[in-house]
Amino acid sequence: MAISEKQIEFLQNSLDAGRAIPGQSLTNSPNQAYGWERPPEFTNPNDTMYYIFETLIDENTITNLLTSIKNKVGIIDLTSIVLYSGFLEGKWNPDMMTLMFEPTMYMMMALAEKANIDYVLESKDEEIEEEGDPDEKLEIYAQGTNALQKIKQESLNKINPQSVSPEVKEAIEELEINPSLLERVNEPETNSLLSREK
């Protein structure tokens, strides 16, 4: 089988662009497999839920998580990041990732409520301006917004608190979240006789 000039040129262009050669992943050493190529670490949904909960309430993680929620990063986006990174590390497979989406969202919302932080489900995307009739755009935008609000409301109604085990709910209730060091401290009002003004 002779190799044509086109094939050699394609291979050279692929190497120059830094792309992998087709089939290259099949030649990787089994000892250096990616995390998602190995069997998952967690296969039981309850064990996976506890692991995610322990990860979320870790001292460094909860600080970053609550800061992100306070900065109006969507719960859906944060859940996707947590679950996808676990998949890349080989903690669970895509099916388990899908199963854990709702409980993880519920845990994040409960942690935000516990810290008295208002959360949003979705981050606001920047609007792209296009040319055209503004009235038509406004009407299409209103229809799309109404449909999106309806879908959001339906999905909010479908979130089931029962998807999280009672042990995790109890742990969330008992969890004490310390305020940030940069947060303004409200001094308690003193009612002593010495602080009384005349």
Check if the beta carbon of residue 145 is closer than 8 Å to that of residue 114.
Answer: no
Q: How many domains does the chain have?
A: 1
* Within-domain flag for 116: yes
* Within-domain flag for 16: no
- Residue 128's pLDDT is 46
Q: Is the pLDDT of residue 198 over 60?
A: no
* Within-domain flag for 176: no
Q: Is the pLDDT of residue 179 over 70?
A: no
Check if the beta carbon of residue 48 is closer than 8 Å to that of residue 92.
Answer: yes
**pTM for the whole structure:** 0.57
Structure tokens at 196: 């009384």
Quick one: residue 132, left, alpha or beta (phi over 0 = left, psi -120 to 50 = alpha)? left
Check if the beta carbon of residue 80 is closer than 8 Å to that of residue 94.
Answer: no
- Residue 107's pLDDT is 92
* Within-domain flag for 91: yes
Summarised one tens digit per residue, pLDDT across range 91-141 is 999 999 999 999 999 999 999 998 888 999 887 754 445 566 777 777 777
User: Reduced to 3 states, what is the DSSP secondary structure of residue 30?
Assistant: helix
* Within-domain flag for 5: no
Q: CA dist 97 to 84, 111, 191, Å?
A: 7, 20, 54
Average pLDDT on 65-75 reads 91
* Within-domain flag for 147: no
* Within-domain flag for 189: no
Q: Which domain holds residue 54?
A: 44-124+160-171
* Within-domain flag for 93: yes
